[in-house]
Amino acid sequence: MTTLTTSEVDLAALDSATKYPSIPTYHTLQPNGALLDEHIPFTGQVVVTEKVDGTNGRIVVMPDGKYVIGSRKELLTASGDLVPNPVHGIVDTLRPIAEKVASWASDEESILVLYLEVYGGTQLPAGRDYTGDGALGARLFDMVRIPYPAQVLSQPVEQIASWREHGGQRFFAEGALGAEALALGVQLCPRLGVVAAEDLPDTVDEAHAWMEQLLPRTQAALDPSAKGHPEGLVLRSLDRSTIAKLRFQSYRRTAQVRAGNR
């Protein structure tokens, strides 16, 4: 099999195939920003993690051992690039990780993608919640391998986007993700525990109270002078087949709307 080289890849196709899909809210979100008690069902054991409020970054390791770094929306730089896009400090923060990963994790038959939250600093809206000194950090929250990438990347961009948003990417299960993070020396988004699906809160009010008790302050602070306000939680099944997010802002908004309707 001929190894797919970075220079021959359609960048629009690569960008689409490696973007992170949308994460649904645990409770149904209405157009007015309030939540309904209807929620996503989980089964088995569920990993509860902190949702860090920064900007999504991705490291794409190509079959030829080169890497590409991107934000959530676009590709920003690649191996050997002398003029990277400096937006939000993503490239400067992720390049050392990318160089380490690309040196040993490339695979001739797949593309490896690491998804990290780049947070803190002075440019990001929630930066002061994590740092008072302007520090930037990165937390790994997902990884995926795209096998036989030439087959995926040869499709029209619209078809690739549909493939991505309908579960075409195969993410690492919790155990494998943790092992990879340890090998790379990269921190995961804070793990807050593992709970049985039947013990998850059902109603919006129950979930709000549970969140406030479980995460009163961020566990991802970069220095002692951080304000410490957390963004929310992410729920994942152990095999990563089901995922959902809970944001404090949405639950507080719902409480306000319900109070105003009484």
Please give, one letter per residue, the 3-state secondary structure of 216-254: CCCCCCCCCCCCCCCCEEEEEECCCCCEEEEEHHHHHHH
For a pLDDT cut of 90, what percent of the chain falls above it?
81
CB 118 within 8 A of CB 138: yes
37-91 pLDDT, tens digit each? 999 999 999 999 999 999 999 999 998 889 999 999 999 999 988 888 999 999 9
Write down the mean pLDDT value for the chain: 93
Q: What is the pLDDT of residue 1?
A: 45
Q: 152, exposed or middle or buried, with CB in 10 Å at 0-12, 13-18, 19+?
A: buried
93-122 pLDDT, tens digit each? 999 999 999 887 767 788 999 999 999 999
Q: What is the pLDDT of residue 104?
A: 75
